[in-house]
Amino acid sequence: MPSRDPWLLTPGPLTTSATVKAAMLHDWGSRDRAFIAINRHMRQRLVELAGGAGRYVCVPLQGSGTFAVEAMLGCFVAPKGRLLILVNGAYGKRMARICDYYRRDYKVLEWAEDRPVDPAAVAKALAEDPAIGHVAVVHCETTSGILNPLAEIAAVVAKAGRRLLVDAMSAFGAIAVDAREIAFDALAASSNKCLEGVPGLGFVICREEALGATKGHSPSLSLDLFDQWQAMEKTGQWRFTPPIHCIVAFDQALKEHEAEGGIAGRGRRYRENCRILVEGMRRLGFETLLPDRLQAPIIVTFHMPADPKFAFETFYDGLSERGFVIYPGKLTVADSFRIGCIGRLGAAEMQAALAAVEAVMGEMGVASGSPRKRAAGA
C-alpha cells in the first residue's frame, strides 16, 4: 500500500493539489469581508472562463453538479415551456428524470452511448415541434467519455430561434465553451471536475437577460437561481449557509488553473494524459469503446477483456492496493470499465498507472486486455 492518498483516475471527485486542500484549514465567517471578496472574484472568473464578461452572470449553489443541472432546468424551462433533451448517456437521461420530478413538458431525442448527438436530427426535431422553447445537451457525456459537437448543436438551436442549456459538468475548464461563439442561455458545472476543486459547489453561468426572465419559474426555493442571484447581487452573500471551505479551496483551484494557462493549459495536460493512457492500454491489448475522434480527454471507456481469468473486482482491488482508483462502466451497450485522465495528475502518474495495470494483469495471469475471443488453437 503506498503511503500517499490514492490517485483518483475517476470523473470526480478527483485528485486535488496539496495547496487546494490546505486552503481549507481555516475558518471563515460567511459575512466576512474577505470571504465576500472571494465569492465575487470566483463568480467573475467563472464568467470570464466562459467568455461571458458583460453579458453573463455566474450563480453558485451549494451541492453537487446535479443540483446545478436541476436548478438550471427548473428555472430556465418555464412551467408551461417545453424542452428537447438530447440523450446519449446517463446524464442526458438524468435531465429527463429531473423534468419528471418538476412536471416539465419535454421530448427526448436519443442516440446510443457510443454515438454523438447529430445536429441535423436536432434541426429536424425543432422544425417539427414549434412548442419546444429550449434544448438541453451534455457537452462531454461522462457515461462513455464522448464529446458532443456543441458548437454545431448550438448553431442549429440558434438558427431555429430556440435556447440552449448545457450540462458542461465534466468538461468545463478543460474544453473551451466561449459564449461569444457558442450561443447558450445557461451552462451548469461544478467545483470538483476539470477546475480541480473539492466537491460541494455547483454553478450555473447564465445569460443575464435570460436569467432575469426566470422570476417565479423555480419549483424549489433552495435551487432558485433567480432568487440566489438577486440576493448575491444585493448583499454579496449567500442566502443560506455557504460551503465555505469548499469555496476557499475552489478560489485556490481557480488560481492554479490560471497559472497553468487557463483552459488551454489544463486541456493540454489532460489531452496528454489521455494520449499516454490510451496508447499504453492499447499496447496491453485493451480496446477503447470510442474512436479517437469522438473521445474527450476526460475519461476513457475500455471494453472488458475477453480472457476468462480477468475479473474486474480483482483488477479494481489490485489497482486500489497500489494506490490507483479507477471507475466501473456505466454503459448499456457494452461490458466496460473507465479510467479518468483529469485531476492533479500528469504524465508520470499516468505512466505509473499503466505499470500498475500491467502488474495486476500479470498477477491475474491475463496476457492481453483484448476484448476479442481468441480463435480456437490460436
For ligand PLP, the binding residues (CB under 6 A) are 11-12, 64-66, 69, 91, 138, 142, 167, 169-170, 190
8 A C-beta contact, residue 211 and residue 225: yes
- Judged by beta carbon, residue 343 or residue 371, the one nearer ligand PLP is 343
Q: Least Å distance between CB 333 and ligand PLP?
A: 18
Count of Cβ atoms closer than 10 Å to residue 121 Cβ: 13
What residues does 54 pair with on adjacent strands?
Answer: none
* CB closer to ligand PLP, 65 vs 329: 65
Q: Cα 35–56–243 angle (5° rounding)?
A: 30
Residue number with CB closer to ligand PLP (98 or 354): 98
Shortest Å distance, C-beta 14 to ligand PLP: 10
In the complex with ligand PLP, the residue whose CB is nearer, 36 or 50, is 50
Task: In angstroms, give the least distance from the CB of 336 to ligand PLP.
Answer: 16
Residue nearest to ligand PLP (CB): 65
Cβ distance to ligand PLP smaller for residue 11 or 52: 11
Q: How far is the CB of 139 from ligand PLP (least distance, A)?
A: 7
Residue whose entry in the numeric block shows the C-alpha cell 448527438: 117
- Give the length of the chain: 378
Least CB distance to ligand PLP at residue 366 (A): 29
- Report the residue number, 126 or 342, with the smaller CB distance to ligand PLP: 342
For residue 2, the tally of other CB atoms under 10 A from its CB is: 12
Report, in Å, the least distance between residue 102 CB and ligand PLP.
16
Helices (H), the chain: 18-22, 33-49, 65-76, 90-102, 119-128, 150-159, 208-212, 225-235, 244-259, 262-283, 312-321, 347-364
3-state helix, strand, coil in the chain (%, to 5): 40, 15, 45
